[in-house]
Amino acid sequence: MDHHCPWVNNCVGENNQKYFVLFTMYIALISLHALIMVGFHFLHCFEEDWTKCSSFSPPTTVILLILLCFEGLLFLIFTSVMFGTQVHSICTDETGIEQLKKEERRWAKKTKWMNMKAVFGHPFSLGWASPFATPDQGKADPYQYVV
């Protein structure tokens, strides 16, 4: 187990880490998309007449755009950091709890690529980006799990 996530109402661990990583990545991308769309909408409204831009009054439109920017930026930063920490955990083959405890490694060290394949499946494919594709666990190397 790495940690309990209230967003997915489950503990994040070996069997569902791929789905959590994809979840954080897609939320970050959607937040970035929202920020880009707000920017385009603001530029469009700035060049055009504000009354034609929205059914709300111009001050209300500006306030709503600012609130959307704040929310999009907040989600983008948070989910990007979560995505980065999860990818780091995969590459180092340590959970966040193990990193905090600074426990000595009791398992064989693998390459970052092997760790990514262990989480996302073998071999590399578009299925890595799909939450509907289940990863083939443990089929890369027979000696992948050393006791």
Active site residue 5: yes
Residue pair 46/36 in contact (Cβ under 8 Å)? The answer is: no
How many residues make up the chain in this entry? 147
Q: What is the DSSP string of 53-117?
A: H-SS-HHHHHHHHHHHHHHHHHHHHHHHHHHHHHHHHHHHT--HHHHHHTPPP-S----HHHHHH
Residue pair 45/56 in contact (Cβ under 8 Å)? The answer is: no
Residue pair 131/17 in contact (Cβ under 8 Å)? The answer is: no
Query: Which amino acids are annotated catalytic?
Result: 5
